[in-house]
Structure 1
Amino acid sequence: MMERVLFYAATALIFSGIYALIASRLGPTFDQWLRARHARRLAARLARGSDRYFEELRELESRTPVPYVAHGFAWHFVRTFAVMFLVASLPELFKILFPFSPE
């Protein structure tokens, strides 16, 4: 039983570290790309200028990208580790919580 817990914890630790590293490094880059894409689409709609596109223009202006909140490596790591450990150990939790056996 203890070996399984350590295996689940080690697996969650490895994947959480990888995800946290990627998320903390690429988050600001993705946010810059999203904002630049939105600005390009908005400029293209304004350049067209005909009545046909004003409805789409209003929709684009109303849905500006949500501001990016920078989180560090530790925030991503702890959050992902908790979720991955829970998912990995879910079958064992069900065995503990519901000990009856259909046999």
Structure 2
Amino acid sequence: MTNTSTLTGLLRQLELELKRLGWWDEIPPEPALLQSEMPFAVDTLAPQQWLQWIFIARMQQMMAQGASLPKGFLLTPYFEEAWKEQRDTQTLLSVLRTIDEVSQ
């Protein structure tokens, strides 16, 4: 991922969409729940919690520190499956697809 301003905008869009859906938590989960070693913390967090408390938080932290950002990851397949029964997630999935594309 070469353009941090692009990623910053996408993370903001992700946050706004999570809020629109009512999936943005004001209170963080217990610290132990954030320590999962499973992909996407599937054993401790809901998919939207993982986005908020792990993905968005870590990406923002890495950008603030000027760290190298991860490349070549794909978020969308997991979230398409996780939310296949949810309504009104197309915009959220579109933002995730764009994040996937810019990470390649």
Tell me whether the two structures share a fold, i.e. TM-score over 0.5: no
User: As a proportion of its length, which structure holds more helix?
Assistant: 1
Structure whose CA Rg is larger? 1
